[in-house]
Each structure stands twice: as structure tokens, then as C-alpha cells.
Amino acid sequence: MTLSDLIDVLAFICLVFVFAGIIPVISSFTQYLLIGLHGITNHYSECKDYTPKVSIVIPAWDEGDVIGASIDSLMSLAYPEGAWRIYVVDDASTDQTPDVLRKKMLEYPGSVFHLRREVGGQGKAHALNHGLSTILADDWAEAILIMDADVLFEPLTLRRMTRHLADKSIGAVTAYVKEGSEPGNLVTRFVAYEYIAAQAAARRAQNVIGVLACLAGGAQLHSRTNLVEMGGLIDTTSLAEDTFTTFKTQLNGRRVMFDGNAVVWAEEPDTLEGLWKQRLRWARGNIQLTVAFRHVWFRPHKNKRLGSAAFGILWFSILLMPLFMIAASIGLLGLHWLRPNWEIAGFATLWGTASAVYVFERLFSYVIDPTTAARTWLEGFLFPGLISLVVAAVFFLPQNWFEFLDVPVSIGSMHSTWREVASLMSYAWISLCMVAAWGVYALEKRGLWPWLRNMLLIVVGYGPVLTAISIAAMVAEWKKTDLRWDKTLKTGRARIPT
Amino acid sequence: MNRFEKDFRKLLAQDQRAETRIFRGEIIVLVIFAIIVLAHFLPKS
């Protein structure tokens, strides 16, 4: 093999790396294209007026600030009188949770039950199993709603969920969890915008392809049969018990449904530190699940839907997104030195596709959830960060506007132009944005002022924070860091908008 | 038809309309998107 052949092979590998960076973008776009079909092929035609007796199980570990409001919202449900009961599993709380529960039991006699665990803090799944063992021990409940202590239900949400269970092929239904912090801040508004994409959009698309990746832990309704078929227990071996439940339901041959019109409101983290803790748990859980269900991926003969190529690509394009981004950076930098004529084509394809999909998704978010999209228009716009937006803008502007960059510059013994330096920096930024995002998180943890954190977050972007967390999760799983249940602190900020 | 049955039908129709609105909205957004993309790639005179 000659040197020229070697360069050709390396350049081809670099080009493949650049195209790997486009995979998550195309996957996200395809998902958005499927959403419209949900207007034609949804589950509403199979729904019936079905109002089973529902036992609601709420794990609560030091949730004294939020549990009272959640119970009040549940007691205002538009649902047949006496057809629902609330079981709060007090996971050895050391705050005022037991006092709040005693008060609520007196206020709503026969509807609210206090189940106390004397040894707690082992995680949500253990608390849920304590509640489920009590609920399934008698045959009153026909359906079981699993929710979080901070979640507030709109009055019609439970009815919107139970109607799907009239179809016995449905094992579980999940609702659209919206961020409801009042007052919110930049971080909570980023989360609110993210949930349009991650829930209202993605889960509708998943309904269309007939397989759901995750039942929201904050609001999932199961038929009794479904939970009994799973042995009446929630998986306790991972940090993603809700996704395990989702997969097990579907592997047992039952379908799982998302109802985007069934809305609940939750309090999400308002700091990067809180967000990091919560999302690291989710991301590690997803890696654990990917390994645990390794026999399912891309094997449609074993499970038609979970094993389908479409679902596999959707799943892995999110799970491996940071690796695809790093590959794209390496690919572009490699092409710069190996094949400059391919470099421009690679960059144009990557940034052109990403920019087009960015515009499409922003516009479409106003159709999917107009109120949230309007409330979070700035966060939606700034989601990738100012630096990435500037790179995209420069890509679309006439290049002769930037002739002022064609001045020579010497860095050590290297001679170049500012234009070339800017190009190389923009290629590297696809990966470096994750390092920068980690830096903003680390600075906030060390007491950075919130206004400065906000400024840096706007420059770096919220998207890079999420991918940086995915990398951190991969590292933690690789190093087998202790599986600690890091509870997200809830303070009672969430409100149902009037 | 009792009150609950009436409410159920009303709610179902309302939610189906919301999904249909998303379908129509997607078509409109796709048209706008196609115009933007074409405007970028069409040769400028």
C-alpha cells in the first residue's frame, strides 16, 4: 500500500465519521416526520368509557414540601366517586412527610393511606414494591397508577389515561409530564422546551411505530394484569426502573401507550447541579438497560417492535449521541489535513442538515405544544448554544463577508490564516462544547453566581449539557461507580397553570 | 347516554381534534420548511 492509498483510506474513514455525526440529526428529523401520522393512526378509535378502580402509589422520601399539593390535585380528579385510592409509601422520611400524611388522611378519610417503611432511602423501586405488595394483596384495584410525589394531575388526566386500558392489549399508559415551576428560571425553561421534543414529540412518534421507549416515572398507569404478569414487582437492579417496566411490558406482548393530551405538571431541577444528578441517574439507567436487554436490539424475529431496526436506530442515536459528535469532530479535522476538498462537503452536509432540522423542529414545536413553545421560545432558540448558532449563521452567510479573516497568523511554528483557525475551532467545538458544558456545571457547583451561570449556559448551550451528562454516565458505568440513589430535591414550586 | 358517557365522547372528540391539528400543522410547517430549503438551494439570478 502506497502513502497515497493510506491517505485515501484514512480520508474515507474520516468521511464516515462525519456522516456518523448526521445519524442523530436524521433520526430526530424522521421521528418528527412521524408525529403528524399520529393524527391519523392513534389509539383513540379503540378507547372506551372505561373507569376502573385505580390505586395510586406514590413513593415519598422526605417529600413534605410537595406531597400535600399532589394529594389535593388527585382528590380533585374528575373521576367516578370512590373509584380511586391513594397509597403514599413513606420511605422512612425524616421530614414532615408523616405529619402531612396524617392530616390528609383525616381530610380525605378512606381515600388516602399511609404506608410507612422503617428502613428507607434504597431507591424509588424498593418503595414502589412496598406499595404494590399491599395494593395487589387485595383484589380491589383494577388498575395501578405509579407517580412521583411532586406531580400535579389536571382533573381530566386520569380519565384520559384509563380510556386506553379498555383495550386489553394495552398494558400501560403514560401522560405528558410538563415542567410547572412557578416562578421558573432559565434552567427550568430549558427543561420545559426539552420535554416538547423528548415527550410530546418523541413519544407520539413512538406510538406511531408501535413501541414506546419509556413510561414517564411521574405518571404511568398499568392494568392490574400487566403488573401481575411482571410478578407484581418493579426492577430494583438498575437506576431506570420505569424504562425496565416499559420494556418488560412490551416483551410480555402488551402494548404501551402515550397520551399527549393527558397532562401532568412536575417540578424539575432549577440548577445544573440538580439537573446533572437527575440526568446522570437516568443516563446510567439507560446504559444498564441497554446491556440488560442486549438480546433484544435489532432482532425483529425475537420481538417485532422492540427489536425493529427503526426502534434500535432511535434508541442508539440518543444513547450514543456524544460519541457520534466526537466522531464528527475527528472526521472533519482529519479531512482538513487529508482531503481539504472533502472537508467542505462534509462540513456543509453536517451543518446544513443540523441547521435545517433545527429550524424545522423549532417551527413544529409551536404546533405540538403552542403554550410551552411560546413560553420557552428563547430557550428553544438558544438550545444548541450561541457559539453553535454563530457557526451555523456563518455557514449560511456569503463567504466574502468574512474576507477580513484571510489574514496570516502564526501559532508557534505553524503558519495559517484566521479563517483556517476559525474553521478548525468550529470543527473541534462539536466535541469541545461538551467539555465547556461540564465546565459550566463544575463552576456552578463551586458557587458561580446564577446570572453568570446563565450567561455561560446561553453561550455553551443546554444541548451540550445533556450530551456531557451522557459521557459522564458512560464513564461512571465503565468505572462501575457506586449505584447511589440520588434523590432530586423538590420544594413545591410546581403549579397547574390556570 | 349518561353524563359520564357524554363527557367521555366530548373529551375524545376534543383530543382527536388536537391530534388532527398537529397533522395539519405538520403539513404547513413542511411546506414552509421546503420553501426555506428551496430558496437556499435554487440558483439566484
Tens digit of each residue's pLDDT (9 = 90 or more) over A406-423: 888 887 778 888 888 999
Cell readout for A352 is 446544513
Rounded (10°) angle between helices A97-107 and A67-75: 20
DSSP string, A53-105: -EEEEEEESS-TTTHHHHHHHHHT--S-TT-EEEEEEEES--SSHHHHHHHHH
Mean pLDDT of A352-374: 94
DSSP string, A110-157: TTEEEEEESS--S-HHHHHHHHHHHHHHSS--SEEEEE-TT-EE-TTH
Q: Count how many pairs of residues, chain A against chain B, have C-beta atoms within 8 Å.
A: 73
Residue A284 has a pLDDT of 95
Minimal-distance CA residue of chain B relative to A157: B11
Mean pLDDT of A68-84: 94
Residue with cell 428529523: A29
Q: How far is A363 from chain B (nearest CA, A)?
A: 7
Residue B34 near chain A (CB below 8 Å): no
Q: How far is B15 from chain A (nearest CA, A)?
A: 6
Q: What backbone phi and psi angles, to 5 degrees, belong to A265?
A: -120, 135
The pLDDT confidence band at residue A259, using thresholds 50, 70 and 90, is very high
Of residues A91 and A256, more confidence is placed in A256
A360:B33 CB<8 A = yes
The pLDDT confidence band at residue A34, using thresholds 50, 70 and 90, is very high
B16:A163 CB<8 A = no
Residue B31 near chain A (CB below 8 Å): no
B32:A363 CB<8 A = yes
The pLDDT confidence band at residue A118, using thresholds 50, 70 and 90, is confident
Residue B19 near chain A (CB below 8 Å): yes
Closest CA relative to residue A186, chosen from A492, A477, A440: A440
Q: Quick check: A104 and A71 in contact, CB under 8 A?
A: yes
Would the pLDDT of A483 be above 90?
A: no
Q: Quick check: A148 and A264 in contact, CB under 8 A?
A: no
Minimal-distance CA residue of chain A relative to B17: A39
Of residues A269 and A484, more confidence is placed in A269
Residue B2 has a pLDDT of 66
Mean pLDDT of A224-243: 92
- Is A29 exposed, middle or buried (CB count within 10 Å of its CB: 0-12, 13-18, 19+)? middle
Closest CA relative to residue A108, chosen from A100, A118, A120, A119: A100
Share of chain A above pLDDT 70, in %: 99
DSSP helix/strand/coil, A417: strand
What single-letter amino acid sits at A438?
W
DSSP string, A286-331: HHHHHHHTTTTTT-TTT-TTTTSHHHHHHHHHHHTHHHHHHHHHHH
> How many distinct helices (H) and strands (E) make up chain B?
1, 0
Residues of B in contact with A51 (CB under 8 A): 4
Cis peptide before A183 (omega within 30 of 0): yes
A360:B4 CB<8 A = no
Residues of A in contact with B32 (CB under 8 A): 363
The pLDDT confidence band at residue B4, using thresholds 50, 70 and 90, is low
Residues of B in contact with A261 (CB under 8 A): 14-15, 18-19
Of residues B8 and A258, more confidence is placed in A258
Residue B8 near chain A (CB below 8 Å): yes
pTM for the whole structure: 0.93
Would the pLDDT of A73 be above 70?
A: yes
Q: What is the DSSP letter of A446?
A: T
Mean pLDDT of A159-182: 96
* Prediction ipTM score: 0.88
Residues of A in contact with B24 (CB under 8 A): 39
Average pLDDT value for chain A: 93
Residue A169 has a pLDDT of 96
Residue B44 near chain A (CB below 8 Å): no
A364:B32 CB<8 A = no
Minimal-distance CA residue of chain B relative to A81: B4
Would the pLDDT of A278 be above 60?
A: yes
Residue A3 has a pLDDT of 84
Q: How far apart are CA A21 and CA A448, in angstroms?
A: 33
The pLDDT confidence band at residue A484, using thresholds 50, 70 and 90, is low
For the stretch A421-457, pLDDT in tens is 999 999 999 999 999 999 999 999 999 999 999 999 9
The pLDDT confidence band at residue B44, using thresholds 50, 70 and 90, is low
A397-434: b (≥16 Cβ within 10 Å) or e = eeeeeeeebeeeeeeeeeeeeebbeebeebbebbbbbb
Would the pLDDT of B1 be above 60?
A: no
A175's enclosing H/E stretch is strand A170-179
The pLDDT confidence band at residue A485, using thresholds 50, 70 and 90, is low
Average pLDDT value for chain B: 85
Residue B21 has a pLDDT of 95
Residue B13 near chain A (CB below 8 Å): no
